[in-house]
Structure 1
Amino acid sequence: MIRITKIFTFETAHVLYNYDGKCKNMHGHSYKLFVTVKGNPINDINNPKNGMVVDFGDIKKIVNEEIVDRWDHAVLVNGDSPHRNLGTDLEKQGHKVILCNFQPTCENMLYEIAFKIKAKLPNHVHLAYLKLHETENSYGEWFAEEN
């Protein structure tokens, strides 16, 4: 079993409904996402991906389509809270808003990222690990064996 990792960066803002600290105010982060998948390298001389668990380009395509392209320079808002009105007002003003069905914390973003990526991976490849840096020294981790 081999694990491979691809790293992504994106800029996203969020606002935390009913939070008791500074993050109750809308603010942004330069996120850094580590995506680790695992599997056995393909052992077929006739397969153009011979020797690879999965092509790094295929991981890049999945993560960009499902996460980076959607979330980059967007505002994540808890659509199940009164902040839905804030999100709707921002959309009306031309802003890119993602109305989430969760509080957009680093932790919940990891659950959403895992859900979206797992659904797109080839059958022989498994999501093993995610790490999402919200700041240089603050991050959350998601491990497949714990979920």
Structure 2
Amino acid sequence: MKVTKVFTFDSAHNLTKYNGKCENLHGHTYKLEVTVEGVVNDEGILIDFAELKSIVENEVVKKLDHTYLNDVLGFNTTCENIIVWMWERLETRLKTERYHLYKIKLWETPTNFAEVDIKDFEK
């Protein structure tokens, strides 16, 4: 089974090594979807949504909300790079014998997103 929780946060950034309007400072209201996969427990719960919310907010959202991403992250803040950073922060926190992080989708605009799932990190 899979469960997903959705978050939003606002941040500013600019792309480096990029020739276009996004090299200038601008902001987004990001939408983040975090999906966990696993087996439900005897109570019928895969992961408590409150626990999932707490982990994602503490590891990702609070660190990025209302910030200048270039200063906080220290790399070229493309949607693709940000989502890999998110995966690395969440993977160990969302891994137990019953469940694991399955997928992250990060919407930069209502029509643009990046997505990674567990298959992208298998070796």
The question of a shared fold, defined as TM-score above 0.5 by the shorter chain, is answered with yes
- State the identity %: 40
Residue 120 of structure 2 corresponds to which residue in structure 1? Answer: 146
Distance 1:54 1:13 in 2: 32
The aligned counterpart of 2:46 is 53
| Pair 130,18 (structure 1): closer, same or farther in 2 beyond 3 Å | same
Q: Is the 8 A contact 2:14 2:25 kept in 1?
A: yes
Q: Is residue 126 from structure 1 mapped to residue 100 from structure 2 by the alignment?
A: yes
Show structure 2 runs of 5+ residues with no match.
none
User: Secondary structure, in 3 states, of the residue corresponding to 1:98?
Assistant: helix
Higher-RCO chain (CA-CA 8 Å, sequence separation at least 6): 2
CA displacement 1:90-131 (0-9 Å, x = unmatched): xxxxxxx4142x211100111011111112124132111111
- Unpaired runs of 5+ residues, structure 1, are 44-49, 78-96
Instruction: Give deviations 1:36-90, integer Å, cap 9, x for gaps.
Output: 00000012xxxxxx2111101111000000111110000011xxxxxxxxxxxxx
Misfit runs of 4+, over 4 Å: none
The answer to whether the aligner puts 1:12 opposite 2:11 as a matched pair is: yes
State the partner residue of 1:110. Answer: 83
Q: TM-score, normalised by structure 1?
A: 0.78
Partners of 2:32 and 2:107 within 8 A in 1: yes
Equivalent residue, structure 2, for 1:90: none
Give the structure-2-normalised TM-score.
0.92
- In angstroms, what is the RMSD of aligned CA positions? 1.1
Contact preservation (8 Å) 2:37, 2:99:
yes
2:6 partner amino acid: I
Q: Give the paired residue count.
A: 120
Superposition map of 1:36-75 within 5 A: 36-43=35-42, 50-75=43-68
State which structure, 1 or 2, has the greater radius of gyration over its C-alpha atoms: 1
**Deviation, structure 1 residue 146:** 2.1
